[in-house]
Amino acid sequence: MSRSATRRGFLSAAASGGAALGLGVAAFAAQDAPSRKVIVGTMGQGGRGTELARLFQQQPGVEVAYVCDVDRRRAANAARAVAAAGGREPRAVGDFRRILDDKSVDVLVIATADHWHAPAAILACAAGKHVYVEKPCCHSPREGELLAAAARKHRRLVQHGTQRRTWPAQVEAVAKLRSGVIGRVLMARAVHVGLRTAIGRGQPAAVPAWLDYDLWQGPAPRRPYRDNLVHYNWHFFWHWGTSEIGNNGVHKIDVARWGLGVDFPRRVSSCGAKLYFTDDGETPDTHLVNYDFGDKILTFENRNWHRRGFEGTAEADIAFYGDRGSLIISGGSYKVYDPGNQAIGEGSGRAGDADHIANLVDAIRHGTPLSAGIEVGYRSAVLCHLGSIAHRTGHTLTCDPQTGRILDDPAAEKLWSREYAPGWESQLTAAAL
């Protein structure tokens, strides 16, 4: 795929709703020789992206050939970090389309700002690359639909960066829930707490010489540069970010959804506000969301200014409540309690990202099922977006439990997709459908 082609808007194609997900993984991987070295390019070289590049480099038979960032300082630093992890120093580039142009590259790793996640992944699938995309996989639910469609259309593997799906203790905990260790599971509680700092009041400023701000904005409609946006504070603006529910809450919601065995809710309500910070941020610093699945309930809670957890732990993550007990997950460990609140089991294991990355590499080589393929990641991301849409509109949402689509609410339905810079919507639709 040439850079000029990816810049052009393609012809529009009719966009359907949520197509059925779940194409077998082996069908994708069969096209790849199991013994061949896996060549990787990484996009977005902040702390998270550079760590992913380093971990991919440490996988047996994997070579990171490119590191890419619109901040040329970050690209150069990442190249040195990858070389220090073993192997040759990768090429540092500023435009990820140079990676897509290289037919030897097998995988694009995406760790950019949220508004680039799905567009870059869709273009990568169209260029014949497998994808590792950081959470959330999309900036809007519609982007998630398009990314899932692109993976099917181009027969590519897309691993979502909800790595807890590969953590041994969490896999074991969900297996115990399936076995009935706490009886019929009726409710899950997902919690994220942390101590953020205020982003202040930004001012218009000249774009720094080290930053390609036009490419950083990419598919998003253009906004003037401000001095409190790059590189992290974009999280707290709806134009580029997905609030804390999409940033970190997605990890907890994903495991809660997994343990409950649910996909899309029938009703979503939200109570959220900025109660603590007085700055430019638009997203809530305090947020509660309720998801009604009919026979099960999931709740999400976030505080960006207070770290106290729940269930007797400093920072518990997810709790499951059944008719014969409860199961509490905290980081890489879990405990099981009987109805009398007596501990009757526990487990712990590895955490981190290495196993999740190895899972993608094994899927490419051998057809191993993905732990968090796009069919899984998309559903969890949609739950996050529904919570944000309920917050932004102040409405209780009624949803189609088969697709997650919002029903009979034009104001909320408008937020199912996003506005794009000229040419991008037709380009992504044509690449995906």
- Do 241 and 113 form a contact (C-beta atoms < 8 A)? yes
Range from 27-36, 228-237, 287-296, 352-361 carrying the lowest mean pLDDT: 27-36
Q: Average the pLDDT over 393-398 and give the result.
A: 98
- For residue 33, the model assigns a pLDDT of 56
Cβ-based neighbours of 151, under 8 Å, separated by 6 or more: 23, 125, 131, 157, 158, 373, 374
Q: Average the pLDDT over 260-270 and give the result.
A: 98
Q: Report the C-alpha gap between 39 and 41 in whole angstroms.
A: 7
- In this prediction the pTM is 0.92
Top-confidence residue, 35 or 247: 247
Q: Report the C-alpha gap between 405 and 384 in whole angstroms.
A: 13
Is a pLDDT exceeding 70 seen at residue 168?
Answer: yes
Residue for token pair 């899972």: 359
Confidence of residue 226 (pLDDT cuts 50, 70, 90): very high
Helix (H) or strand (E) holding 63: strand 62-68
Q: How many CA atoms lie within 13 A of 246 on its CB side?
A: 31
Q: Report the C-alpha gap between 145 and 147 in whole angstroms.
A: 6
Q: Report the C-alpha gap between 199 and 234 in whole angstroms.
A: 10
Confidence of residue 11 (pLDDT cuts 50, 70, 90): very low
Domain boundaries, the chain: 3-163+354-371+419-432
Cα of 140 vs its chain's centroid, Å: 11
For 38-87, write each residue's pLDDT tens digit. 999 999 999 999 999 999 999 999 999 999 999 999 999 999 999 999 88
Give a three-class secondary structure readout of 116-170: HHHHHHHHHHHCCCEEEECCCCCCCHHHHHHHHHHHHHHCCCEEECCHHHHCHHH
- For residue 27, the model assigns a pLDDT of 42
For 98-118, write each residue's pLDDT tens digit. 999 999 999 999 999 999 999
Is a pLDDT exceeding 70 seen at residue 152?
Answer: yes
Q: Average the pLDDT over 145-159 and give the result.
A: 98
Q: Which CATH number fits domain 3-163+354-371+419-432: 3.40.50.300, 1.10.10.10, 3.40.50.720, 3.40.605.10?
A: 3.40.50.720
Of 184, 128, 177, nearest in space to 156 by CA: 128
Average per-residue pLDDT for the chain: 92
Q: Average the pLDDT over 231-241 and give the result.
A: 97
- Whether the CA torsion 181, 22, 27, 429 is positive or negative: it is negative
- For residue 307, the model assigns a pLDDT of 86
DSSP state of 234: G
Range from 22-31, 119-128, 194-203 carrying the lowest mean pLDDT: 22-31
What are the Cα distances from residue 166, in Å, to 58, 159, 202, 247, 423? 18, 11, 39, 19, 38
- For residue 315, the model assigns a pLDDT of 62
Confidence of residue 316 (pLDDT cuts 50, 70, 90): low
For 359-369, write each residue's pLDDT tens digit. 999 999 999 99
Tell me the one-letter amino acid at 216. W
SS3 91: strand
Q: Average the pLDDT over 334-345 and give the result.
A: 96
